[in-house]
Amino acid sequence: MTKVVKFGGTSLAEAKQFLKVADIIRSDPDRRYVVPSAPGKRFSGDTKVTDMFYACYDSASRGGDFEEIFQKIKNRYNDIISGLGLDMSLEDDFEHIRLNFIGRAGRDYAASRGEYLNGKIVAKLLGFAFIDAADVIFFDESGKYDAKRTIPILRERLSYTEYAVIPGFYGSMPNDTIRTFSRGGSDITGSIVAAAADADLYENWTDVSGFLIADPRVVDNPQVMKTVTYRELRELSYMGATVIHEDAIFPVMQKKIPIRIKNTNSPEDAGTLLADTDEPAENTVTGVAGRKGFSSINIEKYRIHDECGAVRKMLEVLEEHGVNFEHIPSGIDNFSIVVETTSLGDETDDIVYDIKKVTSASSVTVENGIALIAVVGRSMKSTRGVAGTIFSSLAKENINIKMIDQGSSEINIVIAVAERDYERTINTIYSAFVK
C-alpha cells in the first residue's frame, strides 16, 4: 500500500508539532510520500511563515531593508531545528535566498521558500529523501499546472524513491522560475503526488477532525461527516465550506483515490473519508452550508413566462455587465434572478434600466440582503420528504423561505432566506436532520 500524507501549516508550526507528525508517519510504513506546508500559526495572532516571506520580499523588491523580518523567518526555522535537536543547518539556504531576494527572484519564489525549507527539515527528521518540487511539478507558459509534463516525470522519480518529502505549494515554469499555486495550494501538490504515485490513499492532515456538517461559527459543536462524495463536497465548498483547496479534488478524483481528512492533534479520530462511495450516508443530509450577500432582481410582466427569449434577453443584459447568476426562480408573470450583490458593483441602476428596456417589464426591482443555503446529501434522492422536513421545520420557526431550487442531480436543495434569518435557518435544518 502507498499513502501520500500532506501536513498543513498548523501541523508543522513548531517543534512539538513536528514530533506529532513524525510519530504519525513512523507508525505506518505505508505513509511513504510526505507533502509539508510552511510553518503556520503557533497561536492566534501569530503570522504564517508564508505571509512573512511575502512581506519580506515586498520590502526587498522596494529596495527597503528586509533584514529584520528575514531574521524573524530564520528564527522560526532555527527554533524548530533546535527544538527537534537536529544536526543540520539551513544557513547556506538562507544566504542563497537572501541573494535571490536582492536579485528580485519574484514573489512566488519568495513564498515557496516556506515549504522548501520546511521540507528539508521534515526530510532530515524522518531520514527520507528530499525531492525539490521545482524538479517534478510543472506549470505551462500561461502559468497553469501542467499535468502532462508533471505526472510522468514525478512518477518516474517516485518509482525509485521509496520514502520521500516533496514540499507543497510550488513548482517551476518552463523558463525555470518558481511558481506557486494559489493560497492553500499544498493540498494540490499532495493530490498530484498521490495521482503520480498511484496511491491507495491521500491523507490530508490538518487541525480539525474532518469536514463538519455545518459551520462551527453558526452551529454549536457540529458533528463530523464520516463520508462525503466529491460531488457533495463541490456543492458544499461552492457555498463556502472550506477545509481543502478546491483544485485538490481533481487529480485524485480522476484516479479514484480517496482522501481522508485527519487531525494531527487527535490522530485517533476517524476523520472524514472523501471518496466516490456507494455506501449509504449516515445522515440523509451530509452537510449544510451557506453564504450571505446575495440580491434578487425581480422582474414583473403579465404573462412573461409565455414569451420566447425573455430569459435570454435578461441574461444578455447581465452578461454585458459581467454579472454571473446563481438561480432563476420563475412564476407566470415574473422572474427573479439571484446574483451575488458585490457582482452588481455600482451598476445596479443601469442593469435595472437595461432589463426594463429589453423586456418591457412593468416593474424591475432589486432586493438585497439575501442568504443562500445549500442542503446537500447523496441520500436525498432516495429519501422521501426531505423538502417537506426542511419546510415544516422552518415554518415552525417562523422563517420565511424566499426561493427554493433543487438541482437535477437531486443531491442538493438550495433555499434563499433573509440574511437576518441565516443563522437560525442553518441551525433549524441541522437539528432537523442530524440526530
Q: Where does this chain bind ligand ASP (CB under 6 A)?
A: 9, 37-38, 48, 50, 114, 168-169, 183-187
CB closer to ligand ASP out of 114 and 290: 114
Distance in Å, CB of 97 to ligand ASP, minimum: 16
- Closest distance of CB 9 from ligand ASP, Å: 5
Q: Which residues contact 312 (CB under 8 A, 6 or more apart)?
A: none
Nearest distance from C-beta of residue 152 to ligand ASP, angstroms: 25
E strand intervals along 284-428? 287-300, 325-327, 334-340, 363-376, 403-406, 412-418
Point out the residue whose Cβ comes nearest to ligand ASP: 186
> Please, which residue, 108 or 215, has the CB nearer to ligand ASP?
108
The residue among 77 and 433 lying less far from ligand ASP, judged by its C-beta, is 77
User: Where is 35: in which H helix or E strand?
Assistant: strand 31-36
Q: Helices 310-320 & 348-359, crossing angle to 10 degrees?
A: 150
Output the smallest distance, CB 169 to ligand ASP, in A. Answer: 4
CB of 160 to ligand ASP, least distance (A): 27
Please give the full DSSP string across 162-221, using - where no structure is assigned: SSEE--SSEEE-TTS-EEE-STTTHHHHHHHHHHHTT-SEEEEEESSSS-BSS-TTTSSS
In angstroms, the CA 189 to CA 133 distance is 9
The residue among 32 and 113 lying less far from ligand ASP, judged by its C-beta, is 113
Write out the three cell numbers for 97. 535566498
| Sequence letter at residue 63 | G
Contact 355, 314 (CB under 8 A): yes
Residue 165 or 314 having the CB closest to ligand ASP: 165
Q: Which is nearer to ligand ASP, 114 or 251 (CB)?
A: 114
- H helices within 62-146, ranges in order? 67-84, 91-102, 107-126
Residue nearer to ligand ASP on the CB measure, 70 or 335: 70
Distance from C-alpha of 427 to C-alpha of 373, rounded to nearest angstrom: 11
Minimum CB separation of residue 115 from ligand ASP in Å reads 6
